[in-house]
Structure 1
């Protein structure tokens, strides 16, 4: 299957500042690719380069096998949904959705047919005669999506489309967008700074930082095998625990020694042998640190830790302790009785452990 979008060696500079550096991304038809990263990492700039709204400094952009590097935005066969919705305030919903088709000279019968299909799909039939100011934020976003959908382009581009909505509506719209993608098998490139949005929507995630793509892959792959400490820390809520340890090989296993405030070091023994430097950063997700009485197995190690802070989240209780001088979260069952200041046996599931180099921050195992 030939890629629908191929970006090769793309650079974008503003003056002497490179805001995008050697971007290489390949997207297959039907993919839902989410560009995610902190504010200022270049994800919206990359989207604008794909759309043709920003010229690139060097590199190539191909859409459906055709070189679009220097092709104007109007000729790229893409549709874009913006954070601000960008609706015409004096036009009705129906006029907003069909405006682009009217400009391109598409006949009235076809316009009305497309409008009816999209309105039914997005459940906005009762809104077609209203003006944008009469709509809620979620309704405006549906209209903006409808305007893109009637185009039937090769590529849909979404630039933080849900960031203006409240938390409950964001969840609802995420589900709506996911259902639309599954039903229509459209190809989407979607920008967000919200990593939960990325995990729930994407077939592939591209994690960006400072103008570079650090990792691209399936959500599960990114979550379980982050290539470096930045990706490990950025993806997941709460994020992966990262704490320093001293590593040695003893009698066929790997011994990890982690400092604890006010007590002897915590010692964890992994039955596997790893070729590690003496100082490492240990990565464990909160769900891999739990109550000792609820976990068992050859990779589970226990140790007594002091609970410094408790955070209730309904179905789970997150407990915080300090290891190696940094805060470490474990995920306990909500029925487990814990109090701040208690010392309790924690279970560490080393089957899921990752090791990172403390200086280069890259994954070692």
Structure 2
């Protein structure tokens, strides 16, 4: 079966300014692909190229195995949900949802059936006679999604659909979208700058920076084996600790202010250059005794900042000249200015090349 979406060597430039460099992506039916990256990385431009709202400079786009590079948006069998909702203010919710079907000449019995179906699915049956101005942000978002759902397209495109909502509502709508994806088995491409949103929703993540794809993979792969320091730093909250270190005689040495360096045996006889950056997630710096195994190494750090965060406490120290965050339990006895015994769990440690940022292990 043909992939739902195939992008080959896609380039987008405005005059001399290249926005997207040789983008290659493929998604299968039922995939939830999330494009994530900082503002200005080209993710919304890429979505617009898939939708046909932006002409591309080079390469090709195929949807459902059909060449769509030059096809207008209406012929691409897609439905788009925008950040701004783009609802017609003078029409009721029901008319907003059925308008596209009416334009395409769908008979009124089918319109009615599909409207009732999505209204029930999105829990907006009681809102059908209202106008968009009488709805909350979350309700408007549901209406915009309802309008996309009734089309039953090959591909759903979401452009930062939750960024106008408050934090609590964002979490609720995220769950809603995840449930929709599971129920429908629909194929979705979703743009966000929020890496938590990306991790929770995606079956596959594309991390972008400066119009270039940095890594494509499942959320667990992106999180546990980032391809470079940019991905390591961008994905995860708090971000992965990136600690400058040196390698000598099969050991990694991490400098400590006013103390001997921390020495760590290299896992499994790995071969690394002299200067490296050690990548370690905050949850892999733990209280002594919390984990055991050959990869767990005791270390003592001087605490700079303690940040209680409910179930966790984030403790910041300085190692190798970098601020290093440990995710400890709420009961930790850490105090600012005091030394603290911790353990590094190097089972999932990443090593990076300091100049290029590329992964070494």
For the aligned pair, the TM-score class normalised by the smaller chain equals over 0.9
Aligned residue in 1 for 2:331: 335
Please state how far the C-alpha of 1:46 moved relative to its aligned partner: 0.1
Please state how far the C-alpha of 1:191 moved relative to its aligned partner: 0.1
Please state how far the C-alpha of 1:342 moved relative to its aligned partner: 1.3
Aligned residue in 2 for 1:112: 112
C-alpha separation in 1, matches of 2:338 and 2:50: 54
Question: Does 2:346 match 1:357?
Answer: no
The 4+ residue runs of structure 1 with deviation greater than 4 A are none
Aligned residue in 2 for 1:44: 44
C-alpha separation in 2, matches of 1:19 and 1:44: 11
C-alpha separation in 1, matches of 2:284 and 2:216: 24
Aligned residue in 2 for 1:286: 282
Aligned residue in 2 for 1:152: 152
Aligned 1:1-365 pairs, distance under 5 A: 1-249=1-249, 254-365=250-361
Contact map agreement 1:270 1:299 (CA 8 A) in 2: no
1:121-153 Cα shifts (integer Å, max 9, x gaps): 000000000000100000000000000000000
Q: Secondary structure of 2:289's partner?
A: helix
Please state how far the C-alpha of 1:269 moved relative to its aligned partner: 2.0
C-alpha separation in 2, matches of 1:21 and 1:185: 31
Gaps of 5+ in 1: none
Contact map agreement 1:268 1:302 (CA 8 A) in 2: no
1:256-300 Cα shifts (integer Å, max 9, x gaps): 111112222222223521111000000000010011232322111
Q: Secondary structure of 1:272's partner?
A: helix
C-alpha separation in 2, matches of 1:166 and 1:55: 34
Please state how far the C-alpha of 1:233 moved relative to its aligned partner: 0.5
Which region of structure 1 is more displaced relative to structure 2, 48-57 or 102-111? 102-111
C-alpha separation in 2, matches of 1:106 and 1:74: 15
Contact map agreement 1:12 1:56 (CA 8 A) in 2: yes
Report the number of matched residues.
361
Change (3 A) 1:260 1:116: same
C-alpha separation in 2, matches of 1:128 and 1:248: 69
1:237-266 Cα shifts (integer Å, max 9, x gaps): 0010001101123xxxx3111111222222
Contact map agreement 1:308 1:340 (CA 8 A) in 2: yes
C-alpha separation in 2, matches of 1:33 and 1:364: 27
Please state how far the C-alpha of 1:344 moved relative to its aligned partner: 1.3
Contact map agreement 1:51 1:76 (CA 8 A) in 2: yes
Q: Secondary structure of 2:186's partner?
A: coil
1:296-335 Cα shifts (integer Å, max 9, x gaps): 2211111111010011111111100001111001111111
C-alpha separation in 2, matches of 1:2 and 1:150: 24
User: TM-score normalised to the size of structure 2?
Assistant: 0.99
C-alpha separation in 1, matches of 2:186 and 2:305: 45
C-alpha separation in 2, matches of 1:354 and 1:163: 32
C-alpha separation in 1, matches of 2:229 and 2:48: 28
Q: Secondary structure of 2:85's partner?
A: coil
